[in-house]
């Protein structure tokens, strides 16, 4: 809500000056979209906002009987921007979006 209020104040849709940011925004230099090779059920091991290293487990794909069929690993270091909330995943289904922060 604070962000929305700041934008509206900046566009003169609301009165007042936008409050200063608590910290500088993080700029992403790249993004990685992690997809399931085959459909199944995704048991996630991370949440949005988690910091990841390349190779960290993002979760596993299991079949209809709950047997693991694939371990999903992070292809890059970064921050999990979103994690699919539905456990049922189709072939080539999107699982996790990872942002790669710009080095400061």
For the purposes of burial, counting CB atoms within 10 Å of the CB of 32, is it exposed (0-12), middle (13-18) or buried (19 or more)? middle
- Domains defined for the chain, CATH in brackets: 25-101 (2.40.50.100)
pLDDT score for 20:
86
Other CB atoms within 10 A of residue 12 CB: 7
Q: How many degrees, rounded to 5, is the angle at CA 98 between CA 67 and CA 44?
A: 25
pLDDT tier for residue 90 given thresholds of 50, 70 and 90: very high
Strands lying side by side in the sheet with 88-89:
68-73, 57-62, 40-44, 88-89
Strands (E) across 1-104 are located at 28-35, 40-44, 51-52, 57-62, 68-73, 78-83, 88-89, 94-101
Residue 104 pLDDT more than 50? no
Q: Which two three-digit tokens encode residue 14?
A: 């609301």
Q: Can you give the pLDDT at residue 33?
A: 98
pLDDT at 102: 86
At residue 26, the pLDDT reads 85
Position 69 scores a pLDDT of 95
**CA atoms of 27 and 4, how far apart (whole Å):** 19
pLDDT, tens digit, 9 for 90 and up, residues 16-57: 999 888 888 888 999 999 999 999 999 999 999 999 999 999
Mean pLDDT of 86-100: 96
């Amino acid at each position: 809500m604070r962000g929305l209020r700041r934008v509206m104040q900046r566009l003169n849709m609301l009165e007042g000056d936008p409050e200063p940011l608590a910290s500088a925004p993080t700029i992403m230099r790249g993004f990685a979209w992690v997809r399931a090779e085959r459909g199944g059920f995704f048991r996630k091991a991370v949440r949005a906002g988690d910091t990841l290293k390349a190779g960290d487990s993002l979760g596993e794909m299991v079949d209809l009987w709950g047997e693991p069929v694939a371990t999903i690993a992070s292809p890059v270091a970064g921050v999990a921007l979103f994690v699919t909330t539905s456990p049922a995943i189709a072939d080539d289904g999107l699982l996790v979006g990872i942002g790669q922060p710009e080095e400061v």
